[in-house]
């Protein structure tokens, strides 16, 4: 029987066509990367396989100079990005922001904050408001290349609409990944807001959206 995955895979750049508006990616190669490199480190929670693949696709395709994320929690999303830029040798720094220790939130990890990335090269941890701190760092760094934002967590319609709107207003060519965006029907009575907010923000614009919609939690990529 033919082996599905290589015993010792070699991870080369999976991008097939950088000039294409579509995401022409070698999904076989990315599948092996996710199975061999990401799952052993971060498991499939909170990001199932298709979401890990979309995160990998976005970073490999756009090769951002800076990655911003907030809601660091234990640092799994930052660790995913770290493994991607390390494996594919992408010149990028990751800036991960969480709430200060004295601010209450039911998902605040306290002493476990960012444990998956502490001490990792090119990963910087902050405690502040995520969106404002990220924009502040962006203005300080003045990157010449692309920047990628990762908006994570069970966000409401209001917060997703505000954060995505402010990101695209400040950085029109930003690449944005948003988590918990499954296209849930209204009769489900939960998690219906995030994808609706994204569609309202990009409606009538030239932005594209690609979503993993096979089930919860769901992830969407917004880019131009």
Q: Which helix (H) or strand (E) holds 140?
A: helix 130-141
Percentage with pLDDT > 90 across the chain: 73
Q: How many domains does the chain have?
A: 1
Tell me if 6 is assigned to some domain: no
Structural domain that includes position 159:
27-223
Whether residue 12 is contained in a domain is answered as: no
User: In the prediction, which pLDDT does 1 show?
Assistant: 44
- Provide the sign of the torsion angle of the four alpha carbons 181, 101, 170, 122, taken in this order: negative
| Helix or strand run (H / E) with residue 3 | none
**Domain presence at residue 157:** yes
2, part of any domain: no
- Condensed to tens digits (0 to 9), the pLDDT of residues 144-183 reads 999 999 998 666 899 999 999 999 999 999 999 999 999 8
Summarised one tens digit per residue, pLDDT across range 86-100 is 999 999 999 999 877
Task: Name the nearest CA neighbour of 67 among 134, 113, 129.
Answer: 134
Domain contains 3: no
Residues 43-84 have pLDDT tens digits of 999 999 999 999 999 999 999 999 999 987 799 999 999 999
Residue 195 lies in a domain: yes
**1-37: pLDDT as tens digits:** 455 555 678 899 999 888 888 899 999 999 999 999 9
Tokens representing residue 177 in the block: 């990944």
Mean predicted confidence (pLDDT) in 116-141: 95
Q: Pull the structure tokens for residue 135.
A: 């924009």
The CATH number of whichever domain residue 183 belongs to comes to 3.40.50.150
Residue of 172, 219, 48, 109 lying closest to 96 (CA atoms): 109
Q: 69 Cβ partners below 8 Å, 6+ apart?
A: 77, 78, 81, 94, 95, 96, 97, 130, 149, 150, 151, 152
Q: Is residue 11 part of a domain?
A: no
Give the Å distances, CA to CA, from 70 to 28, 54, 139.
30, 18, 17
Widest distance between CA atoms in the chain: 57
Nearest to 191 by CA among 156, 222, 152: 156
pLDDT score of 14: 96
Residue 15 belongs to some domain of the structure: no
Say how far apart CA 4 and CA 81 lie, in whole Å.
25
């Amino acid at each position: 029987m033919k082996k599905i995955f290589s015993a010792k895979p070699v991870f080369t750049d999976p991008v097939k066509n950088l000039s294409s508006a579509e995401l022409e990616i070698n999904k076989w190669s990315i599948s092996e990367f996710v199975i061999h490199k990401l799952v052993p480190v971060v498991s499939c929670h909170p990001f199932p396989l298709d979401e890990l693949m979309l995160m990998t696709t976005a970073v490999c395709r756009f090769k951002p100079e800076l990655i911003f994320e907030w809601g660091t929690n234990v640092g799994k999303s930052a660790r995913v990005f770290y493994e991607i830029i390390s494996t594919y040798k992408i010149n990028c720094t990751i800036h991960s922001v969480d709430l200060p220790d004295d601010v209450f939130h039911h998902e605040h990890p306290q002493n476990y904050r960012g444990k998956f990335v502490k001490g990792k090269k090119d990963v910087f941890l902050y405690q502040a408001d995520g969106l404002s701190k990220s924009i502040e760092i962006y203005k300080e760094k003045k990157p010449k290349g692309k920047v990628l934002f990762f908006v994570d967590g069970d966000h409401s319609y209001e917060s997703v609409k505000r954060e995505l709107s402010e990101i695209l207003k400040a950085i029109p060519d930003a690449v944005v990944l948003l988590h918990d965006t499954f296209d849930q029907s209204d009769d489900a009575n939960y998690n219906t807001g995030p994808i609706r907010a994204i569609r309202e923000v990009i409606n009538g614009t030239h932005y594209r959206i690609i979503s993993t919609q096979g089930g919860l939690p769901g992830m969407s990529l917004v880019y131009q």
